[in-house]
Amino acid sequence: MDLDLSAYSVRTDLALEANEMASSAGSSIPGVHTSNVEHDGIRVSLIDITSQEGSRALGKLPGHYITIEVPALRQKDSDLQNRVATVLAQEFEKFLQKLNISRDAKVLIIGLGNWNVTPDALGPIVVENVMVTRHYFELMPDQVSPGYRAVSAVAPGVLGTTGIETGEIVQGIVDRSKPDLVIAIDALASRSLERVNTTIQIADTGIHPGSGIGSKRKGLTLETLGVPCIAIGVPTVVYASTIVNNAFDMMQNHFRQRTANTEHILGLLDNLKEQERLQLVKEVLNPLGHDLLVTPKEIDQFIEDIANIIASGLNAALHEAVDADNVSAYTH
């Protein structure tokens, strides 16, 4: 076999997955600090990448990452959904404090993605559901109740339907509307089908070219926009090849727990490193049209639910006057 594996890597948009992969060798990674708490089916993990070494090891930019995992989120439990929105609100508020974003910082929410492709519509649906207040501050500043800040929200479309880099559009809007902070919502690709629509990542690193479902060529970052950019992402799709590759791992673990003789468990596959094996899987699946990006059958409902959670969480985190205990009342 002569696979060209140079410059190939198992890409994931989630720092948590990157950390799992990088840590699987067992040793801790210098410059990567992690902690997590779990409460009532909701697990919150913090990953801080503080060194270039840690950044290289994970293939993620230095910065702060929050991951909220809720395995039961696909079960249409509206009580659980409300609790997740509340946790998101609390974590997001703490995150803003950590980043020294002031209570009256003006926020522009950018909903990345394509309205017409359901698994990519997360950003536009969130934008449709957040409370927008900036125009009240502009048009009648004296009449805005205390406890609110100026929030604006735009779904700029995708390159294929606008003909313009999304980054260009966002920069133009930032130039004109002058927010102090951009929050960009995006649908992500996951390495794991179980994380699809059950995981929310928040990061202060902005959006980078090539991340998310749609291919972007220009990032949304402090450097490009001139203001900080917090990214909120949810994995909504996974490659078929990734499903297969993960299944190999699970099979190996399954057999290892059951057989004394750990040789030849998966035959020739045993000798491949993960990246070689994934490359091989792609080689095998691709020509037959088997390596599609896939999403669960129930994606319409899932995306609606998680978009509402994010919108509710943001409304409560961004406006003191919105009660974190009853966040969903403010979305429609």
Tell me the per-residue interface mask from 189 to 228 with a copy of itself, x by CB under 8 A, - otherwise. ---xxx-x-x--------------x---------------
Only one of the segments 4-12, 141-149, 222-230, 280-288 lies at the binding site for a copy of itself (rule: CB under 8 A); that segment is: 280-288
Separation CA 110–CA 158 (nearest Å): 12
When binding is defined by CB under 8 A, the residue of 23, 34, 50, 177 that contacts a copy of itself is: 177
When binding is defined by CB under 8 A, the residue of 27, 35, 267, 273 that contacts a copy of itself is: 267
Region 286-305 residues binding a copy of itself, contact defined as CB under 8 A: 288-290, 292-301
Q: Are residues 9 and 34 in contact, defined by beta-carbon separation less than 8 angstroms?
A: no
Q: Strand pairing of 181-190 and 107-111? A: parallel
Q: Does 254 bind a copy of itself (CB under 8 A)?
A: yes
- Looking at the Cβ atoms of 28 and 329, the one nearer to a copy of itself is 329
For the chain, the distance separating the N- and C-terminal CA atoms, rounded to the nearest angstrom, is 55
When binding is defined by CB under 8 A, the residue of 16, 183, 280, 314 that contacts a copy of itself is: 280
Strand order in the sheet with 107-111: 32-39, 42-49, 63-69, 199-203, 229-239, 181-190, 107-111, 151-154
Region 14-43 residues binding a copy of itself, contact defined as CB under 8 A: none
* Count of positions (residues) in the chain: 332
Q: Are residues 34 and 19 in contact, defined by beta-carbon separation less than 8 angstroms?
A: yes
Q: Does 285 bind a copy of itself (CB under 8 A)?
A: yes
Q: What angle do the packed helices 274-285 and 240-256 form, to 10 degrees?
A: 130
When binding is defined by CB under 8 A, the residue of 77, 134, 180, 320 that contacts a copy of itself is: 134
